[in-house]
Amino acid sequence: MKNKLIILFCILGIIAILTACENKGEEKISVVLDWTPNTNHTGLYVAEEKGYFKELGLNVEVVQPPEGGAESLVASGKAQFGIAFQDMIAPAFASDNPLPVTAVAALIQHNTSGIISLKGNGIETPKGMANKIYATWDMPIEKAIIKSVVEADGGDYGSIKMVPSTVTDVVTALNTDMDAIWVYYAWDGIATKVKGLETDFFAFKDINPVLDYYSPILIGNNEYIEKNKEKTEAFLKAVAKGYEYAIDNPGEAANILLKANPELDKELVQESQKWLADQYKAEVSQWGYIDQDRWDNFYFWLWEEGLIEKEIPSGFGFTNDYLPD
């Protein structure tokens, strides 16, 4: 009996050593979200749940952002990767000292943002926003985009009643005195349908193709990705596999997101996931691919409109080099 116990303890000791070695070999990586968890992020949760990160020796932690946002955390090196938006990060690139981050993948292939309103409120197209109340974030680029689409449609931008407001519940806001709200359709647009609200919606990219910028994007810390090329490639390989799974299996992917974040609305997650299954890659063959012309055209438009302090060089701020083939 004594000998058996000795053998058992030896076996347990070996297992403990092997486990410690295995864990030591895993690369700890932090990914900071842009907001609370939602279907934009599903591929990350799938990669974690399915063991795609672990298969490649990576230990990945997905965290929610601090008040300063993901960009500052990634730029400081406190997180290796984070989620941002091409429009919101533009001022940080248009500087003599650009933020030391690079977009390494597009989470969704096209810009799904636009204006939502209650059906019958006369805002089927941008010109209908004239004399209506719009919930604004009071940001220069945001307002310039609204001005661009309204005037392109022959509307009077100056007559829009801009009311600064941070809308956290679109369904509730539309049932108040807010006539028009900027939303990302995959989440808030789907939310109105789930709640049985009849709405009108127009996407910015359908009014002006230059507004088909990348939103959201996955950014990486420049120093980290330059010094850790293989780990960055491994990370993106696992993430891409997670999004490919979500494309092929939206129902199962939705359940994985809900398992990790049970506080989310189940019906909203399921319906949003179905809608996004066709949007993650859209018409391109490679998940995460960023088209340079679209990237550059939007930044050139910002420069022409006087919305950034310095012209952003062509091809600056993104790379497709780490994406899996």
Length of the chain: 325
State how far the Cα of 322 lies from the Cα of 221, in Å rounded to an integer.
Answer: 13
Least confident of 4-13, 40-49, 143-152: 4-13
Domain borders along the chain are 27-109+214-304, 113-211
- The beta strand positions in the chain, using DSSP E, are 27-32, 58-63, 81-84, 101-106, 113-118, 133-136, 161-164, 180-184, 199-203, 217-221
Domain boundaries 27-109+214-304, corresponding CATH code: 3.40.190.10
Average pLDDT over residues 9-16: 33
Average pLDDT over residues 140-160: 97
Helices (H), 162-291: 170-174, 190-194, 204-207, 222-227, 229-248, 250-260, 266-276
State how far the Cα of 113 lies from the Cα of 182, in Å rounded to an integer.
Answer: 7
pLDDT at 6 over 80: no
Q: pLDDT for 109-139, tens place per residue?
A: 999 999 999 999 999 999 999 999 999 999 9
Average pLDDT over residues 219-229: 98
Average pLDDT over residues 79-87: 97
Average pLDDT over residues 286-315: 98
State how far the Cα of 290 lies from the Cα of 287, in Å rounded to an integer.
Answer: 9
Q: pLDDT for 232-279, tens place per residue?
A: 999 999 999 999 999 999 999 999 999 999 999 999 999 999 999 999
Say what the pLDDT of residue 33 is: 97
104-to-1, 77, 316 alpha-carbon distances in Å? 58, 16, 12
Residue range 113-211 forms a domain whose CATH class is: alpha beta
> In degrees to the nearest 10, what's the CA dihedral of 240, 242, 248, 251?
-150
Q: pLDDT for 25-35, tens place per residue?
A: 566 899 999 99
Say what the pLDDT of residue 69 is: 79
**CA neighbor of 83 nearest in space, from 50, 107, 61, 99:** 107
Residue 202 bridge partners (DSSP): 115
pLDDT at 17 over 50: no
State how far the Cα of 116 lies from the Cα of 112, in Å rounded to an integer.
Answer: 12
The residue assigned the tokens 């109105």 is: 192
Top pLDDT among 233 and 10 is at 233
What tokens does 17 get?
């050593």
Say what the pLDDT of residue 8 is: 34
Q: What percent of the chain has pLDDT over 90?
A: 87
- Mean pLDDT, the chain, rounded, equals 92
Say what the pLDDT of residue 5 is: 34
